[in-house]
Structure 1
Amino acid sequence: MKHINGKSNCLADYLSRPSDDPLFDVDYGLESKLPCSTSSNLPNPCQPSKNIVAYMTLRPRQKIPAPGVSSLDQDDDSSEATSCTSEDSFTTCSPLITTTPSPNVFDSNQLSHEQAQDPAISRIISQLNHSTHPDSTLSSSFIIKSGILHKFITLTPKSKRRLCVPYLPSSMIRSLLTAMHDDPFQGGHFSIDKMMSKIRPRYWWPHMKQDVHSHVQACVLCQQYNYSRQKKPGHLQPIPPVAIPFSVIGMDFCGPFAESPRENKYVLVVTDLFTHFVTAIPLPTNTADITALTLFRHIFCRFGVCSTLITDQGTHFNNNLMSALQHLLGYNHILSTPYHPQTNGVVERFNASMVVQISKLQQKHHNNWDDYLDAVVFAYNSSKHKTTQYSPFELLFGRPPKLPIDSPPQYYQFDRPSNYFVHLQKILQVYHQQAKLNIMNQQRYHKKYYDYNRRDPHYNVGDRVFTKIFAARGKLNPRYSAEPKIIVQINHPTYTVRHEPTGLEHRHHVSDLRPVTLAYVDNDSI
């Protein structure tokens, strides 16, 4: 009998395991019970596998595939095996770390043979060996050591120390690049600079950095997994202002919030893109029928039918009911590019401000955020907007709003209502012209700032690209699609791409595309 304290007693767990489960713990003196049959698939206990680097006794856990990763991308675990040995009371189970097949196909022993087959290298060797007075530039740059042509180099421009490294023949360039980038031990798929720092002190060939750059850029795994350290591609595309209130409007849902005593959970926000006048309506749900009814009652029946409505592609906006309302009233409904909220940026920006202001005012224990919604919206509409330099209220009604702190207003005396209309028309004309000019100036300023040092790639029909993955994914999953997709329609900066195996087509903004770089091909393989 052997005593085991309570914290270490895991033997009861063995009662629920199959009889052929090879999990035993050395600490409990059960190593002698591990079957070592020659007919099993386990490796010979007396001949441990050379691939095993370290061992650890583990309890098997069910593997759950990461979301968004297909079964084709999962590792094949059917080949996992356990090994055991009873000698010296040592038990080995599933290896914690195993070496993977290395893509290193570079053989430095072939250097002399391959140099002899390379015309450029053979020509230099011949000149150094047979010329009685070789070119001084040639002799100061190259030397033959042990039958191999070497090149004198300096690691940095300011370095005075010269190294002598072998001249790599063109037939071995590709194998070296593969070994120094793809091999997990030597390269590990690191950057161009790190790869150059390893190759430069060891080998030299013409246009070396260009070849290294091409190889790294063409690595499919690097294209799928690497972060982009640059600004997202694609220049800013401002919407030209129309000096007519509620001609172009944006609409979006904000929420869900905590349910208020009035059972409201969402806010439908509608913003006029010219005056920036905001209308926000609290709602209990965000269904298609509620959306269409609210838009008709609170916007179209108050301010008239717009000419253009901009929304995202949510199901509450992109449905048959909204399409029927569009055709019935005769306005243009524009759906923003998926995962590109900048298309409706004016509304999105107000949503961010509204949430912050409401959170400051609400009584947290009562969740009465909708009691303060109208006040927050009025405070916004009555404040000067940085873009237009006028308050939205003033641009819409032709006068500033009366606030409690204001002195008694000055009244204008008009003999007829038509006189007031002429006066209001003149004021609004001045306001709108100046506001339009201010909007255009702000758009030029923001575009210049946004586009600075930002690429704006243009693709053609038939180009192959990777698309960004927006679904929930693990940290070790790729950031871009596993398979390239083909561009079938262009409306820069929006592109329609097709997945060839399924034929499915989706729209993507240029900032969510990554061009497929062709694989590196050396001269001898053409």
Structure 2
Amino acid sequence: MVKEAARYTLVGQKLYRKGFAFPFLRCLEVGEAEYVMKEVHEGICGTHIGGRALASKIAKAGYYWPTLRSDCMNYVKKCDKCQRFAEGHRAPLERLHSTTSPWPFCKWGVDILGPFPMAPRQIKFFIVAVDYFTKWVEVEPIATISAERVKRFLWKKIICRFGIPTEIVSDNGTQFAFRSMVEFCEGLGIKQIFTSVEHPQSNGQAEAANRVILKGLRKRLEEAKGRWAEELPQVVIPVEIGESSARTALFEPSENED
């Protein structure tokens, strides 16, 4: 009891737990814990993440209660949207193929998704780009697909923000293989790597981001499909910062004070 009590302290009238990897974590009562779980899981910036990721996100926000991990796991199991839109199919295991990128923002995977239900300003598609090194994601809704639109996206979202990449991986659709697009890349010294439209796995980084984004949109929108462009930034946030992997999610900071 004495050892356990040493891990807690009072600040004013609030009880806090001393953490190993985090600053003081405020201890919550039952009602407060339920509110925090609901807000983080499905609130304004919530994207219906899994139980372990939810517990980790709450701890990073500065909150704690003894049954945090188990409560988060049970909360996700009872979430209607999480159960209805969960991925029920798992592809058979395959040998992993390594992809190399020597430094951040050197190699990007680019893809276009759509058409989606018509959004304001006749938006029906979006472009997604993923950096192979950092897994950083850039997304922009668009009304039409063209080489000029792709060039503007690359210039505005990638080149002006992160510098000129050395390689861009995309399918061999007209918008990427059109003459003006090829000349644009050659002029900047960017190497284009084309994959087959029938074999999207060759651009695995972009495909992985696509799955997470589409999954998040389904959970947030349900019947309000026309609002997908408005919800896109909120869905991209957890893709950019990265959700906990199975390995890091098993690490419990509050149990490693000693």
- 1: distance between equivalents of 2:129 and 2:193? 14
Deviation per residue, 1:104-159 (Å, 9 max, x gap): xxxxxxxxxxxxxxxxxxxxxxxxxxxxxxxxxxxxxxxxxxxxxxxxxxxxxxxx
- 1: distance between equivalents of 2:157 and 2:248? 26
Alignment of 1:415-426 (within 5 A): none
- 1: distance between equivalents of 2:100 and 2:246? 14
What's 2:98 paired with? 238
What's 2:173 paired with? 314
Deviation per residue, 1:369-422 (Å, 9 max, x gap): 1111111111222234539969xxxxxxxxxxxxxxxxxxxxxxxxxxxxxxxx
Secondary structure of the residue aligned to 1:262 is helix
- TM-score norm. by structure 1 comes to 0.28
Q: What amino acid does structure 2 have at the position aligned with 1:240?
A: T
What's 2:156 paired with? 297
Alignment of 1:323-472 (within 5 A): 323-362=182-221, 364-365=223-224, 367-384=226-243, 386=245
Structure 2 unmatched runs, 5+: 1-91, 250-258
Alignment of 1:226-305 (within 5 A): 237-242=97-102, 244-305=103-164
- 1: distance between equivalents of 2:248 and 2:213? 20
- Is the CA contact (8 Å cut-off) linking 2:129 and 2:137 kept in structure 1? yes
Aligned residue-pair number: 158
Structure 1 unmatched runs, 5+: 1-230, 391-526
Q: Structure 1 residues 345, 264: CA separation in 2 closer, same or farther (over 3 Å shift)? A: same
Q: Structure 1 residues 328, 263: CA separation in 2 closer, same or farther (over 3 Å shift)? A: same
Q: Structure 1 residues 264, 387: CA separation in 2 closer, same or farther (over 3 Å shift)? A: farther
- 2: distance between equivalents of 1:239 and 1:249? 11
How far the C-alpha of 1:314 sits from its partner, in A, is: 1.0
Q: Structure 1 residues 389, 316: CA separation in 2 closer, same or farther (over 3 Å shift)? A: farther
How far the C-alpha of 1:344 sits from its partner, in A, is: 0.5
- 2: distance between equivalents of 1:276 and 1:387? 17
Q: What amino acid does structure 2 have at the position aligned with 1:322?
A: M
Q: Structure 1 residues 388, 343: CA separation in 2 closer, same or farther (over 3 Å shift)? A: farther
Secondary structure of the residue aligned to 1:250 is strand
Deviation per residue, 1:77-97 (Å, 9 max, x gap): xxxxxxxxxxxxxxxxxxxxx
Q: Structure 1 residues 290, 277: CA separation in 2 closer, same or farther (over 3 Å shift)? A: same
What's 2:85 paired with? none
Q: What amino acid does structure 1 have at the position aligned with 2:162?
A: F
Secondary structure of the residue aligned to 2:139 is strand
Secondary structure of the residue aligned to 1:311 is strand
Larger Rg: 1
Q: Once superposed, what is the RMSD of the aligned Cα atoms? A: 2.6
Q: Structure 1 residues 347, 385: CA separation in 2 closer, same or farther (over 3 Å shift)? A: farther
Q: Structure 1 residues 272, 238: CA separation in 2 closer, same or farther (over 3 Å shift)? A: same
How far the C-alpha of 1:235 sits from its partner, in A, is: 6.2
How far the C-alpha of 1:331 sits from its partner, in A, is: 1.1
How far the C-alpha of 1:252 sits from its partner, in A, is: 0.2
- 1: distance between equivalents of 2:203 and 2:108? 9
Identity %: 28
What's 1:442 paired with? none
Secondary structure of the residue aligned to 2:226 is coil
- 1: distance between equivalents of 2:237 and 2:214? 15
How far the C-alpha of 1:299 sits from its partner, in A, is: 1.1
Q: Structure 1 residues 324, 338: CA separation in 2 closer, same or farther (over 3 Å shift)? A: same
Structure of greater relative contact order (alpha carbons < 8 Å, 6+ residues apart):
2
- Is the CA contact (8 Å cut-off) linking 1:275 and 1:388 kept in structure 2? no
Alignment of 1:16-31 (within 5 A): none
- Is the CA contact (8 Å cut-off) linking 2:127 and 2:142 kept in structure 1? yes
The structure with the largest helix share of the pair is 2
- 2: distance between equivalents of 1:236 and 1:369? 33
- Is the CA contact (8 Å cut-off) linking 1:261 and 1:366 kept in structure 2? no
Q: Structure 1 residues 303, 363: CA separation in 2 closer, same or farther (over 3 Å shift)? A: same
How far the C-alpha of 1:298 sits from its partner, in A, is: 1.4
- Is the CA contact (8 Å cut-off) linking 1:267 and 1:283 kept in structure 2? yes
How far the C-alpha of 1:291 sits from its partner, in A, is: 1.0
How far the C-alpha of 1:353 sits from its partner, in A, is: 1.5
Secondary structure of the residue aligned to 1:367 is helix
Q: What amino acid does structure 2 have at the position aligned with 1:253?
A: I
